[in-house]
Amino acid sequence: MPKYGPKTKKKMKKVMHEYKTGTLKSGKSRKKVTSRKQAIAIGLSEARKSGAKVPPKK
């Protein structure tokens, strides 16, 4: 299991909360995210952009 920094954990918690409440939107189209995997990918991507400790993409 990869280890994430505290900044990343905080971002993922926020993203998963948005996903569960149905308010998480995706990309430019701003369509509602329906997949858990997609929500995780969005959270990790946002964390990378903010400079948090996240393992590189495979």
Q: Are 42 and 34 in contact (CB under 8 A)?
A: no
Local mean pLDDT, 10-residue blocks, the chain (58 residues): 83 95 92 94 91 82
pTM of the full predicted structure? Answer: 0.82
Q: Are 58 and 41 in contact (CB under 8 A)?
A: no
What is the model's pLDDT at position 2? 66
> What are the sequence ranges of the domains in the chain?
1-14+32-52
What is the model's pLDDT at position 55? 80
**Exposed/middle/buried for residue 35 (C-beta within 10 Å: 0-12, 13-18, 19+):** exposed
